Amino acid sequence: ALWAKRDSLHFIEFLDALTAAYGTDIYTPYKLLPSQFRHALLYGSKDIPIKFHIERNERRIFYARPFEGIIPKLDRRYKETDSMGARDEIRQYMSYRSCSECQGARLNAAARSVRIQGHNLSDLAALSIGEALVYFSELTLSGRQKVISERILKEVVERLGFLNHVGLSRLQTDRSSLCSG
């Protein structure tokens, strides 16, 4: 209980410093906060140092540094921790949504425009290892396309063949992962 009280006191001091830096106060409802402050709260203050203070042995110590942001901090803690309990705690605040720009393809515009016999990279990534092995093994290209892709296709087929050989034929390469690596 003492830890929770001390932690909430630090949080209030932190919020007070952050809101003061952006010209608002901690009692302003979130929807009424300036958009610049809301963005800084969630994603950080970038290069703008925020003046914070901490209380130690009845002394107040002042310092200034950019604020990391709630989302980057949770992301960093999730990736750095070895504690499954900490990950479970952070996972409560996570949701998975498809990007509105790429519709979940996880590819930039240039990569989304690449086509191999009418299939884009996202379509091919949705194949299982076994299906992709068959597709790329049977893929026939001609002329310039064949010359350009020959070495790459050989490597792709070899890697898919290895994954298939070790029993991962049903694995899809576009699947989501909860690993922190």
**Is a pLDDT exceeding 50 seen at residue 38?**
yes
Write out pLDDT tens, residues 5-20: 445 556 777 888 889 9
DSSP letters spanning 96-155: ----TTTTT----HHHHT-EETTEEHHHHHTSBHHHHHHHHHH----HHHHHHHHHHHHH
Q: Are 44 and 72 in contact (CB under 8 A)?
A: yes
Overall residue count recorded for the chain in this entry: 181
What is the model's pTM?
Answer: 0.52
Mean pLDDT of 71-100: 86
The per-residue pLDDT for 34 is 92
pLDDT in tens, 121-174: 888 888 899 999 999 999 988 899 889 889 999 999 999 999 989 988 888 776
Which helix or strand (DSSP H or E) is residue 67 part of?
Answer: none
